[in-house]
Structure 1
Amino acid sequence: MSRFVIRRVISMVLVLFAISVLTFLIFQAIPNGDPAVRLAGRTATPAQIEQIRQSWGFDDPIWQQYLTTMGKILSGDVISYTQQLNVMTQIKQALPATLSLAIGAGILWLFLGVVFGLFSAIKAGRFTDRALTVLALVGVSTPVFLLGAVALYFLAFKLTIFPNGGYVPLTQDPIDWLYHMILPWCVLSVLFIGVYSRVLRSNVLDTMSEDFVRTARAKGISEQRVLVRHVLRNSMIPIISLWSLDFAAVIGGGAILTESVFNLHGVGQYAAESIQQLDVPPVLVVVMLGAAAVVVLSALTDVLFAFLDPRIRLTG
C-alpha cells in the first residue's frame, strides 16, 4: 500500500510540473504578448519599455523567468502584470464564491444523477427510460451560457423569482446566500446530471447481469436490498471517480461560464478576465490550482479504491 501511495505522489508532482511548464510556454508564444508593453501603457517610449523589461526580468532566459515566476507563486508573493495586485489575495477573495458554487452544484448533480440513472435503469426500455434519455441528451447538449441566460431572463427579469446574479457571502447572510446560489447551482448541474444518469444507468444494467447478483436473488434476498446493497454499491465506483474529477475541475475554474453569466466574481471569472488581458501570473496560478485539485482528488480516489480493493494496487 505504501508503494502505491508513493507512486501516486510522484506522478502528481510530475503532472503539476508539466502543466506549469506548458502553461508558461503557451503565454510566451502568444503574438504581441510581451508583458512589458502592457505594463508600460500605450504612450510609453521604447526606452521605458526596455527599462520595465529589465526591472521585471523579462529579458532573462526563459527558464530563469519560469523559475522566478514559480518561486513567487510558491512564496505567495506573485503580482499580476496589469492590475499590480497580489494574485493570491485576489484568489482568496474569489475562492468562497467558487467553493459555494462547486459544493452546492456538486451535491445536486451527484444526487439527481444517481436518482435519475437508477430510475432509468429500473424502467429500462419503457417510456420513462426514453423520456429521461431525451432529457439527459438535451441537458448535455445545451450550452451553460445559453441555459444561464434563459434562466436569468425568465426567472430573474420576467418573474423576479430569483435575483439577477451576484454573490452574497455565507457569513454575511446565509438565507440571502442560498437565495443567490440556487439558480447557478441548477444551471451548472444540468450538464453533469445528464452525463451521470447515463453512466450510472449503463453500470447498473451491466451489474444486474453479474453472477453475484443472481446468487443474491437465489438466496431469497429482497429485490430492493439487492438493488441497493449489491447493484448500486458496485455501480457507484466509477461515478465517485468521475465526480471527484469534475468537482475539482469546477473549483479550478471549470465554471467560468456559469460565474460570468451570474456575475459571481469567482476564480473562473477572475481567470477569464486575466486571459483577456494576457496576464500570465493569475492564469498560471489558477491553472495550477485547478490542476492540483484534479490531481490531488484523483490520487485520493485511487488510494481509497486501492484500500477497498487490493486488486487495484497491482494495476496502479
Structure 2
Amino acid sequence: MWAYILKRLLLMIPTLLGVLLVTFVVIQFVPGGPVEQMVAQLQGRSTGGEGAAAAGAAYRGRQGVDAKQIEEIKALYGFDKPAHERFWRMLVSFARFDLGRSFFHHKDVWELVKEKLPVSISLGLWTFFLTYLISVPLGIAKAVRAGSRFDTVTSILVLVGYAIPGFVLGVLLLVLFGGGSFLAWFPLRGLTSPNWEELSLWGKVVDYLWHIALPVTASVLGSFAVVTMLTKNAFLEEIRKQYVLTARAKGLEERRVLWKHVFRNALIPIVTGFPAAFIGAFFTGSLLIETLFSLDGLGLLSYESVIRRDYPVVLGTLYLFTLIGLVTKLISDLCYVWVDPRVKFD
C-alpha cells in the first residue's frame, strides 16, 4: 500500500502542473486583463460590472496614455516579465504555499480565502450533514420497501427536488417566507443580524440558524436524490445476493440480516465518497445561492476574480483547491481498504 500511496503522491505533481499550465496559458489570451482595465480607468472609461470583457473590447492601444505609464502599470502587475518567467515565479511561490496578493482587494489570497470560508463552510457543512442524515436512512427504507407506494412516492419527491435548480427554489423561498409577497418569517440577507455581538450565546445560535435556514434549504434539496438513490441501489444489490438468502434460510431475523450482514457491504460506495464530500463541504461556494441571499463566500469571490481578471486569486485558489481535491481523492481510494480489507491495490 505504501508503494501505491507514494506513486499517487508523485502523480499529483504533473497533474497539478498541468492544471496550472493550461489555466495560465488560457489567461494569456483572455482580453481585458488588469493592465487594460487600469488603462481604461486612466482614460475615464468604466470597467465595472460588464467590466473586464468590456474593457478588453474597448481597449485599442494606448490612446492618450504615454508609454512610460504603460510600462509602470505592467511592472505593477508583473506583466513586464515574459510569460515563462512569470509562470516559473508563480510555481516557486506556490511551492512555498505563497498564493500571491490580489490585484484589486490588495490582500493576500490566503487572507481572502480565510475571510470567505465561514460562509462557504456554513452552507457546505449544513448541506453535507443534512444530505447524509436524511438520504442514507431514506435510501435504506426505500430498499427494504422496494416497489411499495412509499418507495414510489419518495422517489417522485426526491427527483422533483433534484430537478428544481437551487437558485429557483431560493427565489421561491424568498418570495414566500423572506418578506417577498407573502410571509416575512426569515431575513433576506447575511448570516447574522447587525446586533449579533450583543446577543447572548443562545440568542446567537438562534439568530444564526434563523439566517441560514433558507440558503441551506435551497442548497440541500437537490442533493437528496443522488445519495438516496445510490444508497437504495447499493442495498438492493446486496439484499439480492446469495449470502443474504443463506442467512435468511438459517432463520436469522430480518433486522439482524439487514444490519449485520447487508449494511457494511452496501455502505462501501457511500463511505468511500464520504471524505471527498466532507472536505468539499468546506470549500464549496455556490455563486447563485450566495448572490441571491447576499452571502459573501468563495463562490462570489471566484466569480468576481474571473470577471475582474484578478489572476493571483484565480490561480492561487485553483492551486489550493486542486491540491485539496487530489489529496482527498487519494484518501477516498484508501477508504476502500478500510471499509473492505479484501481490496488490494496491486
TM-score normalised over the length of structure 2: 0.82
Percent identity, aligned pairs only? 29
| Structure 1 residue identity aligned to 2:306 | I
| Structure 2 residue identity aligned to 1:82 | F
Secondary structure of 1:78's partner?
coil
Distance 1:9 1:168 in 2: 41
Secondary structure of 1:33's partner?
coil
1:154 aligns to what?
176
Rg larger in 1 or in 2?
Answer: 2
Task: Summarize the Cα distance change of 1:279–1:210 in structure 2 as closer, same or farther, 3 Å threshold.
Answer: same
1:186 to 209, 217, 240: 217
Whether 1:112 and 2:109 are equivalent positions in the alignment is: no
2:46 aligns to what?
none
Cα distance, 1:40 vs. partner? 4.2
2:7 aligns to what?
7
Cα distance, 1:55 vs. partner? 4.2
Cα distance, 1:88 vs. partner? 1.5
2:282 to 225, 248, 251: 251
Distance 1:294 1:77 in 2: 17
Task: Summarize the Cα distance change of 1:247–1:168 in structure 2 as closer, same or farther, 3 Å threshold.
Answer: same
Secondary structure of 1:161's partner?
coil
1:57 aligns to what?
78
Cα distance, 1:259 vs. partner? 2.1
| Structure 2 residue identity aligned to 1:66 | F
Secondary structure of 1:148's partner?
helix
1:22 aligns to what?
22
Cα distance, 1:77 vs. partner? 5.9
Cα distance, 1:124 vs. partner? 1.3
1:280 to 311, 314, 317: 311
Kept in 2, the 8 Å contact 1:207–1:234? The answer is yes
Secondary structure of 2:273's partner?
helix
Kept in 1, the 8 Å contact 2:268–2:339? The answer is no
The runs of 5 or more residues in structure 1 that have no matched partner are none
2:145 to 114, 123, 127: 123
Distance 1:88 1:167 in 2: 22
Distance 1:216 1:98 in 2: 46
Secondary structure of 1:166's partner?
coil
Distance 1:150 1:243 in 2: 31
CA offsets, 1:34-70, max 9 Å, x none? Answer: 3222244422515222322134331423222122234
Task: Summarize the Cα distance change of 1:187–1:55 in structure 2 as closer, same or farther, 3 Å threshold.
Answer: closer
Distance 2:161 2:304 in 1: 27
Q: CA RMSD in A?
A: 2.4
Whether 1:83 and 2:105 are equivalent positions in the alignment is: yes
1:204 aligns to what?
235
Task: Summarize the Cα distance change of 1:16–1:174 in structure 2 as closer, same or farther, 3 Å threshold.
Answer: farther
TM-score normalised over the length of structure 1: 0.89
Task: Summarize the Cα distance change of 1:147–1:307 in structure 2 as closer, same or farther, 3 Å threshold.
Answer: same
Secondary structure of 1:82's partner?
coil
Task: Summarize the Cα distance change of 1:314–1:253 in structure 2 as closer, same or farther, 3 Å threshold.
Answer: closer
Cα distance, 1:126 vs. partner? 1.8
| Structure 2 residue identity aligned to 1:126 | S
1:195 aligns to what?
226
Secondary structure of 1:42's partner?
helix
The runs of 5 or more residues in structure 2 that have no matched partner are 44-64, 198-203
Q: How does 1:259-298 map to 2 (within 5 A)?
A: 259-298=290-329
Task: Summarize the Cα distance change of 1:185–1:88 in structure 2 as closer, same or farther, 3 Å threshold.
Answer: same
